[in-house]
């Protein structure tokens, strides 16, 4: 009996703490659920814009896929030129690479601008300011179109470099 009583007391203390943690988790789950429902109530008003954003994302991913394929081809051409001892083809692209460097800087700035605009759009939705949210959504879509244009420009620059190898 002397051994059972301390064990039961220890079990009671440990289980009471876990009940408290479980209750806090249940409150957190309910808060997240309410927040998500609020978000989707507002997003119903932006259905066309969401579809447009998804189309832009698909386009961006296709352009990125093309870029990766072109970089792979460019790598193979660069290796062949190095094995053949043709340094002119390998080093004659410096002007284009400088253009590429500027494109990367522009893309970085556009991505940061898109992130900030999307963040402010969500803040406007949380504040129930539908007019501001709609304006920010339009700005965000415009920035995403600019990003896709820059990526297309990058793809064209890679085409120019590949042509110089051929």
* pLDDT tens, position by position, 44-77: 788 888 899 999 999 999 999 999 999 999 899 8
Split at pLDDT 50, 70, 90, the class of 21 is low
Residue 59 to residue 66: CA distance in whole angstroms: 11
Per-residue confidence (pLDDT) for residue 91, from 0 to 100:
58
Does residue 138 belong to any structural domain of this protein? yes
Please check whether residue 143 is in contact with residue 110, taking contact to mean a CB–CB distance below 8 angstroms.
Answer: yes
Number of domains forming the structure of the chain: 1
Q: Is the pLDDT of residue 89 over 60?
A: no
Report, as an integer, the average pLDDT of 106-132.
Answer: 92
Q: Say which residue the tokens 């659920």 belong to.
A: 33
Please check whether residue 140 is in contact with residue 53, taking contact to mean a CB–CB distance below 8 angstroms.
Answer: yes
Tell me which residue range forms the domain holding 146.
Answer: 47-165
- Count Cβ atoms within 10 A of the Cβ of residue 164 and give its class: 0-12 exposed, 13-18 middle, 19 or more buried: middle
Please check whether residue 140 is in contact with residue 117, taking contact to mean a CB–CB distance below 8 angstroms.
Answer: yes
Does residue 66 belong to any structural domain of this protein? yes
Does residue 15 belong to any structural domain of this protein? no
Low-confidence winner among 9-13, 70-74, 98-102, 108-112 (lowest mean pLDDT): 9-13
Q: How far is CA 126 from the centre of its chain?
A: 21
DSSP secondary structure letter of residue 86: -
Does residue 64 belong to any structural domain of this protein? yes
Q: Is the pLDDT of residue 153 over 90?
A: yes
Which 3 state secondary structure label does DSSP give 1? coil
pLDDT digits 0-9 by tens, 94-107:
788 888 899 999 99
Split at pLDDT 50, 70, 90, the class of 87 is low
Does residue 7 belong to any structural domain of this protein? no
Does residue 95 belong to any structural domain of this protein? yes
Q: Say which residue the tokens 């009471």 belong to.
A: 16
Measure Cα distances from 62 to 18, 66, 113, 152 in Å: 49, 6, 22, 10
Report, as an integer, the average pLDDT of 13-31.
Answer: 63
pTM of the complete model beyond 0.75: no
Does residue 63 belong to any structural domain of this protein? yes
Does residue 69 belong to any structural domain of this protein? yes
């Amino acid at each position: 009996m002397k051994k059972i009583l301390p064990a039961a007391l220890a079990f009671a203390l440990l289980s009471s703490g876990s009940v408290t943690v479980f209750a806090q988790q249940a409150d957190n789950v309910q808060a997240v659920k309410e927040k998500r429902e609020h978000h989707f109530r507002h997003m119903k008003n932006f259905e066309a814009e969401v579809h447009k954003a998804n189309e832009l994302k698909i386009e961006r991913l296709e352009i990125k896929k093309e870029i990766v394929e072109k970089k792979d081809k460019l790598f193979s051409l660069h290796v062949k030129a190095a094995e053949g001892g043709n340094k002119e083809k390998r080093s004659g692209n410096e002007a284009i690479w400088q253009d590429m460097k500027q494109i990367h800087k522009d893309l970085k700035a556009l991505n940061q601008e898109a992130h900030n605009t999307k963040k402010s759009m969500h803040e406007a939705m949380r504040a129930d300011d539908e007019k501001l949210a709609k304006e920010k959504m339009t700005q965000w879509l415009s920035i995403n179109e600019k990003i896709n244009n820059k990526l297309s420009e990058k793809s064209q620059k890679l085409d120019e470099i590949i042509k110089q190898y051929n």
